[in-house]
């Protein structure tokens, strides 16, 4: 990781903070972005002397552009951009409002879209770069009814990631787009969901955040295009799709 410059959104807590601290400990120069300034600076202080904290709302394109520019101004380049920011929701599909759906798309799709679009010209100039989008198992298997709108947003993100990869690799094969799909992770995700929810840290099968960070660090090293954070996840997803309607 020495000399690798990594931008991480949603880095004031949870997966983003754990990843920033892990990469910083391995010699990477990390650029942390989140809306909450004080916790963001606290995380940055644990990430080495080169870490840069940028207070930004990545649901605003102008903030994403400023994040990119500040990272390049400090380090001269960006090697990896991790779109980790997002939000869940707790509401039955029959009760969803226009605002619920709009917020799920804004928080989980547009935030990543802005990151991909704003960093892409910089990557194309160098024919080098790596975007990692943090999705969810719910983007493949919508098995939690109260997370219906979140599942839909992550389906959208999965498709965008795959199609960005297909488009860009035709002309700039040095650029990679990767997708990482965790299940339940021991973070504050649940209690920060729109309309509230259970604390994800209380679930007995919640994956430790450090394990997820290790997986993402591995994706940076290997540039694999599509990775689950737990063993057995691929088999569970395949079983889900095999259980659906068959061809005529």
* Domains of the chain, residue spans: 5-242
Residues 101/105/108/110 CA torsion (nearest 10 deg): -160
Nearest to residue 138, comparing CAs of 104, 183, 101, 102? 183
Check if the beta carbon of residue 130 is closer than 8 Å to that of residue 176: yes
Fold for the domain defined by 5-242: Rossmann fold (3.40.50)
pLDDT tens, 77-116? 999 999 999 999 999 999 999 999 999 999 999 999 999 9
Q: Rounded distance, CA 1 to CA 31, Å?
A: 14
Residues of the chain with pLDDT under 70: none
| Rounded-to-integer distance, Cα 94 and Cα 234, Å | 30
Residue 80 has phi, psi (to 5 degrees) of -135, 135
CB atoms within 10 A of CB 65: 16
The pLDDT of residue 199 is 86
Active-site pick, 114, 143, 150, 228: 150
Active site residue 150: yes
Whole-prediction pTM value? Answer: 0.96
Q: Could you tell me the CA-to-CA distances from 243 to 54, 160, 236, 240 in Å, in that order?
A: 45, 25, 11, 5
Q: What is the model's pLDDT at position 245? A: 78
């Amino acid at each position: 990781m020495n000399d690798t410059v990594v931008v991480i959104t949603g880095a004031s807590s949870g997966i983003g903070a754990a990843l920033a601290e892990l990469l910083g400990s391995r010699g990477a120069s990390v650029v942390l972005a989140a809306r909450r300034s004080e916790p963001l600076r606290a995380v940055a202080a644990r990430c080495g002397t080169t870490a840069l904290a940028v207070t930004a709302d990545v649901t605003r394109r102008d903030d994403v552009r400023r994040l990119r520019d500040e990272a390049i101004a400090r380090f001269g380049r960006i090697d990896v951009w991790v779109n980790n920011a997002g939000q869940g929701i707790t509401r039955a599909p029959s009760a969803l409002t226009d605002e619920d759906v709009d917020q799920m798309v804004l928080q989980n799709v547009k935030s990543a879209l802005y990151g991909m679009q704003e960093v892409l010209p910089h990557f194309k100039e160098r024919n080098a770069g790596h975007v990692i989008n943090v999705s969810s198992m719910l983007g493949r298997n919508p098995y939690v009814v109260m997370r219906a709108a979140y599942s839909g947003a992550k389906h959208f993100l999965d498709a965008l990631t795959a199609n960005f990869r297909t488009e860009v690799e035709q002309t700039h094969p040095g650029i990679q787009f990767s997708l990482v799909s965790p299940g339940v992770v021991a973070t504050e995700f649940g209690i920060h969901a729109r309309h509230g929810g259970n604390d994800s840290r209380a679930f007995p099968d919640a994956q430790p955040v450090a394990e997820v960070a290790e997986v993402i660090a591995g994706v940076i090293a290997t540039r694999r295009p599509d990775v689950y954070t737990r063993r057995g996840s691929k088999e569970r997803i395949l079983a889900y799709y095999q259980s659906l309607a068959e061809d005529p």
